[in-house]
Amino acid sequence: MPQNNSLLKSVDWVVVIVYVTLVAFGWFNIYAANYNPENPVLFDVGREYAKQLLWIALSGVIIWVIFMTDSKFYVAFSYFLYGLSVFLLFSVIFLGKEINGAKSWFEIGPVRFQPVELAKVATALTLARIMSRYDFSFKKTSNLMRVGLIWMLPVICILLQNDTGSALVFFIMVLPFYREGLSGNVLVFALIGAVVSVLTLVYPNVIILAIIIASCFVFLAFKIQYKFIGYALFFGIIGFSVSYIAFKVLGKDIRLDLFTLVGAIFISIYLAISGLNKRLKAILPAIVFMWGAIAFTISTDYFVEEILSEYQRNRINVLLGFKDDPLGAGYNVNQSKIAIGSGGFLGKGYLDGTQTKFDFVPEQSTDFIFCTVGEEWGFAGTALVVGLFVFLMIRLVILAEKQHSVFSRIYGYCVASIFFFHFSINIGMTIGLAPVIGIPLPFFSYGGSSLWGFTTLLFIFLKLDTNRSELIR
């Protein structure tokens, strides 16, 4: 089998080894999360680790199928796959089974399947295909519209399923877009937009954030005049400090939001005066934007806190993907941080965790599997996992850049970005750096759908990579 021999030779074994390591390590942690120290049973077929072993075995089949398929197939069938997945995403809204408030699962007999996993692959392929056309440019409105439409259809369907976490994954496509020529400002925009929309509802004193955003835009507006911005910020800090000291001296309760507001007023005054002096036209919109942002955050806060009933507020939180948290704000994250933090440098030892055993941590084998790593393997284990993921993502980007075919490159970026999003949100939420959005950690979290989805994503790229010197169309 000469073809197979060359295939084995051209496969990027580094990525494969990382993949196998992650999956194996993931399985051991699922085992640990299911392990009951009071009733130690070596292997129980009914438990999650047993099923996960089956899913892993089936992943091998998937990998084999992917490698046996010609690379051209993925280009040719990308539209079909996309159409199929959008159809499935749409029909699951009506036919799906509701789990954790989201109607995103098909259930056929004992088999459960989440079409969003297929949609990730299909959307990545389709975007790669459209954007790899030789005359493609983001500067063309028609191209932009087409990409936007391809991107938006699955997102809308997923939102209708009430599976906000998964919908958010698609936003990370901004990275491949950026690589392919979308303006860098959009990246900044997207980042700021994400930060505002999420943090406004998560944290109090959000005005501080609004100020950051505002200054970002001041930066954009006066890209050249750094000195100007420096002065503005300087005045802002003065305003903040003065009010802070005044409150301190008067013995009043510290109100950071109020101080920030004072700082913002100082900035505006400075900007307005120097803007008038130097006849800078961009000043006015900048100020208007800043105050708009401030008004927005305050009113969102006010709207959510004061006007909405508790029931409605919960609905909004669920809609935004924040897990229903009946035990009080931050309970899950706190438990998760305690579990990870208690691991120390080398961990408590495999199967010796306590926090991830007695159900203190929620969803301990799925969304919060990273806690088991943290508790039992310590910083050594978590650093290894973080390191492996970053290595994998960088490796994928490097491989993508080596592709002769633009299609493969774009697809590679999509894969790396999707991993990146899952990686940052999942681990971020377990250590309190990201909001609690229930999305799995690739290769680690228990579940067939997600494991197969990530495996498919990765190995289609590895398959494309075996033909890296060819032009795939």
82 Cβ contact partners less than 8 Å away, ≥ 6 residues apart: 122, 123, 125, 126, 150
Q: How far apart are CA 343 and CA 336, in angstroms?
A: 11
153 Cβ contact partners less than 8 Å away, ≥ 6 residues apart: 86
The string of DSSP letters for 198-261 reads HHHHH-S-THHHHHHHHHHHHHHHTTT-HHHHHHHHHHHHHHHHHHHHHHHHHTPPP-HHHHHH
Question: Whose Cβ is closer to another protein: residue 84's or residue 338's?
Answer: 338
| Positions in 399-428 near another protein (CB under 8 A) | 401, 413, 416-417, 420, 423-424, 427-428
Residue 123 interacts with another protein (CB under 8 A): yes or no: no
223 Cβ contact partners less than 8 Å away, ≥ 6 residues apart: none
Of 40, 46, 251, 328, the one binding another protein (CB under 8 A) is 328
DSSP 172: G
Of 387, 404, 469, 471, the one binding another protein (CB under 8 A) is 387
Question: Whose Cβ is closer to another protein: residue 187's or residue 199's?
Answer: 187
Of 337, 422, 463, 468, the one binding another protein (CB under 8 A) is 337
Instruction: Judge whether 287 and 217 are in contact, CB under 8 Å.
Output: no
Beta bridge partners of 102: 99
Cα distances (Å, whole numbers) of residue 94 to 1, 87, 119 = 47, 11, 17
Question: Whose Cβ is closer to another protein: residue 38's or residue 253's?
Answer: 38
User: Nearest approach, Cβ of 151 to another protein (angstroms)?
Assistant: 18
Question: Whose Cβ is closer to another protein: residue 344's or residue 349's?
Answer: 344
Phi-psi region of 155 (alpha: psi -120 to 50; beta: other; left: phi over 0): alpha
**DSSP 3-state of 138:** coil
Of 178, 231, 291, 296, the one binding another protein (CB under 8 A) is 178
Of 189, 296, 350, 360, the one binding another protein (CB under 8 A) is 360
Of 274, 314, 342, 466, the one binding another protein (CB under 8 A) is 342
Neighbour-count burial of 9, counting CB atoms closer than 10 A to its CB (0-12 exposed, 13-18 middle, 19+ buried): exposed
How, if at all, do strands 111-113 and 97-99 pair? Answer: unpaired
Question: Whose Cβ is closer to another protein: residue 94's or residue 345's?
Answer: 345
Question: Whose Cβ is closer to another protein: residue 123's or residue 336's?
Answer: 336
Q: Could you tell me which of 448, 440, 276 has the C-alpha nearest to residue 367? A: 440
Q: How far apart are CA 36 and CA 351, in angstroms?
A: 9
Residue 343 interacts with another protein (CB under 8 A): yes or no: yes
Of 179, 323, 422, 468, the one binding another protein (CB under 8 A) is 179
Question: Whose Cβ is closer to another protein: residue 82's or residue 177's?
Answer: 177
Question: Whose Cβ is closer to another protein: residue 355's or residue 467's?
Answer: 355
Question: Whose Cβ is closer to another protein: residue 297's or residue 417's?
Answer: 417
Beta bridge partners of 364: none
User: Nearest approach, Cβ of 408 to another protein (angstroms)?
Assistant: 15
Residue window 157-176: x/- pattern of binding to another protein, with contact defined by CB under 8 A: ------------------x-
Neighbours of 171 (CB within 10 A): 15
Residue 329 interacts with another protein (CB under 8 A): yes or no: no
If binding means CB under 8 A, how many residues of this protein chain bind another protein?
48
Of 3, 9, 38, 141, the one binding another protein (CB under 8 A) is 38
Q: How far apart are CA 208 and CA 217, in angstroms?
A: 14
Of 188, 219, 379, 466, the one binding another protein (CB under 8 A) is 379
Residue window 431-470: x/- pattern of binding to another protein, with contact defined by CB under 8 A: xxx-------------------------------------
Residue 374 interacts with another protein (CB under 8 A): yes or no: yes
| Site residues, another protein (CB under 8 A) | 38, 175, 178-179, 184, 187, 327-328, 335, 337-345, 354-355, 357-360, 374, 378-379, 382-383, 386-387, 389-390, 393-394, 397, 401, 413, 416-417, 420, 423-424, 427-428, 431-433
